[in-house]
Structure 1
Amino acid sequence: MRLSFTMLLVGCSCLAASLTAWPTRAQGQATGVLPAAALQPCGRTRLNQQQLELISSAAHVGFSFEGTECRVYAVLPGGQDHNYLQYELDGVYQKRLRVAGGAAAPLVLMAPSGGKHTAWLYKATEAHTGAIAIQKITAQRVQALPVPAGPLIEFIGNSITCGALADASEVPCGTGAYHDQHNAYLAYGPRVARALQVSYVLSSVSGIGAYRNWNSAGPTMPQVYEKVDFQATTPMLWNFAAYSPRVVSIALGTNDLSAGDGKSPRLPFDSASFVNSYGQFVRLVKARYPKARLALLSSPMASGPNRTLLEHCLTAIKQQADASYPADPPVALHFFQPMQARGCNSHPSVEDHALLAKELEPFFRQLL
């Protein structure tokens, strides 16, 4: 598909970055400029007019610098009012950073002491909140960091996988914008990956399902997965050659089974349609990643009859996939223990995500 503007899709690339620096003098110290094009991102991103747009939940970039501070120049190309980054300094999680629309001032990251430091920036919010574009990073001896070599897990899912409605530490539940409580870094997937010391990407959309969404018939995950930003109307497709996950985890079904928003018409759950659509999506993922091990997760928010029904459906999907790909390793299943979620709108909180990650860690360790 030909696009009318220059665009480069970049994923978890370990290609050597070509670092360009323009030294200036500030208080007797040399300040380097790391352009966005030199960053080596992981997750769904695109380089657009020399700005690196972080698109998917927890899409991230790393860099090193010397001294006590660095400056990150970030903008919101979609014109939204605000969005959020979050960052890790020297291997320790710090906090979320509010990126204001139209702001010209950079975000300043402070280190407690001089010397050399490493920092990783993460998009705290999901693709549907709009991209966050990194223009440049300035600091003493600033350099891009490559994504660590080794296995990678892709986590496909809904708002739970996004880390949506999990963090009310700054904006209370029921107030602000929907993405004000997003915290992708502390969602279960990134926690599992860090515990296992592997790389990860999140492909997740709030409210989405396998054959129907929380309050609409679609577009569902099978319909948007190949789009770079999970938007049905976007012509740009994701470059699946950007990375090759060792494991692909799929956690869908919560929204298919839900009662909806109480406003839109909602038919009873159709297990045959769910199994058929989910099975087709499994085949799509297998086509994109023929060497990946597939894992299907149930929902910690499903309880009672819905929990049992979802487990039966996932078992049927696994059986179909195993029969269709007899030479491949079997599809793995994990059924969550029931959870009383403590986040906003009955979603898991950041503390709940820690429990989910602890439950999942041995499961994924075995798959890897």
Structure 2
Amino acid sequence: MRFIVFFLLSLLLLSCKAEKTPQDQYFEAGDERFTYMGRTLTSGEGKELIASGASVKTKVYGDTVTVFLKSKEGSYHYVAVELNEEYKGRFRITKDTLKFALPRKDSANTITIFKETEAANGILIFSGIRANKIEKISEQQRAKIEFIGDSITCGMGADTTEINCEEGEWFDQHSAYTSYGPRVARELGIDYEINCVSGMGIYRNWNDEDKPALPDVYPYLHLDGNHGKRVIINKEDPPQVVSIALGTNDFSLGDGEKLRMPFSEDPFKENYITFIERIFKIYPETKVALISSPMTREEDSKELIEILHEIKAQLADKPIEIFEFKKTYARGCSGHPSAEDHKLMAEQLVPFYRKMLNKE
């Protein structure tokens, strides 16, 4: 009889212990408790993170969290990870899982995954998360800036902590997370979206005269000259500011080998005005910021800023503001801004954007 009582008590204790240790579960990317930002697309494999800085976030519970990611095209990407708004690092992804210990064992932890590479590098697929429990982040709708630009806005050549400029692939130093746009957004406590393509300009690109430029690919989800699926505009979450930083590649001399015509002001100005008018048609209530280049030569910078002021004057009935960098920032790869340069750029830009957002 004593043995039976002991056996039953043991079972009860084991049952209580099991109840106190919930098992981790797998949550697929389509779960409504995930929040996405930037250009994404739902597919049979999960959620496709397309553009630079596209992200997914949620609250997680338990001892650990495992994130399932993979490259759709078989190449590799980089992601940045935040845990409870603390930067955990930059990780190379081919077909990988990232596992993190959760600092808060008895309460919610917030995890955010950011795509570091750009749309031109292909698609990064987020398949899901394994954790004890997840929960949607409930927050009021925040102000948002959409950052449109070229390789500078993409964060190209910014992060050399693991691979030097002369080594690896052209995108191995890409870091959208440390670029000026996300830095500004984190400082102001706002949301953001990045739509950028390295090498592209307003009317011509870094080393070609007749290929699609940024305004041509902007309407398409993958920012691709081959067009494809059009982006769906979320009218319920429009940006309060659309920031355009283009012109560096229009003024570029190219590779020095391919025939390059001198810069032409007329098509530049015409294309820029048409693009701005299109932005206002998409977002009638937005404001537009025109940003000068931190990479161009002194004489080109002067001409660019003069043209931007002419554009503003021609669109005098629209809410347009201009920001001019007073010096170059080119300590990263191929004369691009480094991560530290982006930090300095963001510090200058924060008051400018704060004023545009009426957050003073």
Q: Tell me if both proteins adopt one fold, taking TM over 0.5 as the criterion.
A: yes
Partner of 1:77: 72
Read off the aligned partner of 1:311 and give its amino acid letter.
Answer: I
Alignment of 1:1-368 (within 5 A): 28-38=21-31, 39-49=34-44, 51-80=46-75, 82-100=76-94, 103=95, 105-112=96-103, 114-115=105-106, 116-145=108-137, 149-217=141-209, 218-241=211-234, 243-322=237-316, 326=317, 328=318, 330-368=319-357
* Deviation string, structure 1 residues 205-224 (Cα, Å, up to 9, x no partner): 10110000001122101100
Q: In 2, Cα distance between the equivalents of 1:145 and 1:364?
A: 26
User: Cα RMSD over matched residues?
Assistant: 1.7
Q: In 2, Cα distance between the equivalents of 1:26 and 1:139?
A: 16
Deviation of the 1:28 alpha carbon = 4.2
Please say if residues 45 and 125 of structure 2, whose CA atoms lie closer than 8 Å, have aligned partners that are also in contact: no
Deviation of the 1:262 alpha carbon = 1.4
* Deviation string, structure 1 residues 266-314 (Cα, Å, up to 9, x no partner): 0000011110111111111111111100110000112321011001111
* Deviation string, structure 1 residues 46-78 (Cα, Å, up to 9, x no partner): 001151000011111111112332111111112
Q: In 1, Cα distance between the equivalents of 2:130 and 2:231?
A: 30
Q: Assess, with a 3 A threshold, how the Cα gap between structure 1 residues 229 and 214 changes in structure 2: closer, same or farther.
A: same
Deviation of the 1:320 alpha carbon = 1.5
Q: Assess, with a 3 A threshold, how the Cα gap between structure 1 residues 239 and 112 changes in structure 2: closer, same or farther.
A: same
Please say if residues 77 and 133 of structure 1, whose CA atoms lie closer than 8 Å, have aligned partners that are also in contact: yes
Q: In 2, Cα distance between the equivalents of 1:303 and 1:147?
A: 44
* Deviation string, structure 1 residues 212-237 (Cα, Å, up to 9, x no partner): 00011221011000000100213200
Partner of 1:6: none
Deviation of the 1:26 alpha carbon = 12
Partner of 2:12: none
Please say if residues 83 and 129 of structure 1, whose CA atoms lie closer than 8 Å, have aligned partners that are also in contact: yes
Q: In 2, Cα distance between the equivalents of 1:77 and 1:144?
A: 26
* The structure with more radius of gyration: 2
Q: In 1, Cα distance between the equivalents of 2:177 and 2:45?
A: 26
SS of 1:29's equivalent in the other structure is: coil
Q: Assess, with a 3 A threshold, how the Cα gap between structure 1 residues 26 and 347 changes in structure 2: closer, same or farther.
A: farther
Q: In 1, Cα distance between the equivalents of 2:140 and 2:345?
A: 25
Q: In 2, Cα distance between the equivalents of 1:340 and 1:77?
A: 34
Please say if residues 83 and 109 of structure 2, whose CA atoms lie closer than 8 Å, have aligned partners that are also in contact: yes
Read off the aligned partner of 2:48 and give its amino acid letter.
Answer: E
Deviation of the 1:40 alpha carbon = 2.1
Overall identity of the aligned pairs, in %: 37
Read off the aligned partner of 2:262 and give its amino acid letter.
Answer: P
SS of 2:262's equivalent in the other structure is: coil
Please say if residues 217 and 227 of structure 2, whose CA atoms lie closer than 8 Å, have aligned partners that are also in contact: no
TM-score by length of 1: 0.87
Q: Assess, with a 3 A threshold, how the Cα gap between structure 1 residues 143 and 34 changes in structure 2: closer, same or farther.
A: farther
Q: In 1, Cα distance between the equivalents of 2:156 and 2:329?
A: 16
Q: In 2, Cα distance between the equivalents of 1:253 and 1:96?
A: 29
Please say if residues 40 and 146 of structure 1, whose CA atoms lie closer than 8 Å, have aligned partners that are also in contact: no
Read off the aligned partner of 2:349 and give its amino acid letter.
Answer: L
* Deviation string, structure 1 residues 73-130 (Cα, Å, up to 9, x no partner): 11111222x1111111111111111111xx3x52212334523311111001111011
Q: Report how many residues are paired.
A: 335
SS of 2:156's equivalent in the other structure is: coil
Deviation of the 1:342 alpha carbon = 0.9
- Any gaps of 5 or more consecutive residues in structure 1? 1-24
Q: In 2, Cα distance between the equivalents of 1:255 and 1:241?
A: 29
SS of 1:71's equivalent in the other structure is: strand
Q: In 2, Cα distance between the equivalents of 1:138 and 1:194?
A: 27
Q: Assess, with a 3 A threshold, how the Cα gap between structure 1 residues 142 and 305 changes in structure 2: closer, same or farther.
A: same
Partner of 1:18: none
Please say if residues 37 and 50 of structure 1, whose CA atoms lie closer than 8 Å, have aligned partners that are also in contact: no
Please say if residues 51 and 118 of structure 2, whose CA atoms lie closer than 8 Å, have aligned partners that are also in contact: yes
SS of 1:37's equivalent in the other structure is: coil
Deviation of the 1:33 alpha carbon = 2.2
TM-score by length of 2: 0.89
Please say if residues 31 and 140 of structure 1, whose CA atoms lie closer than 8 Å, have aligned partners that are also in contact: yes
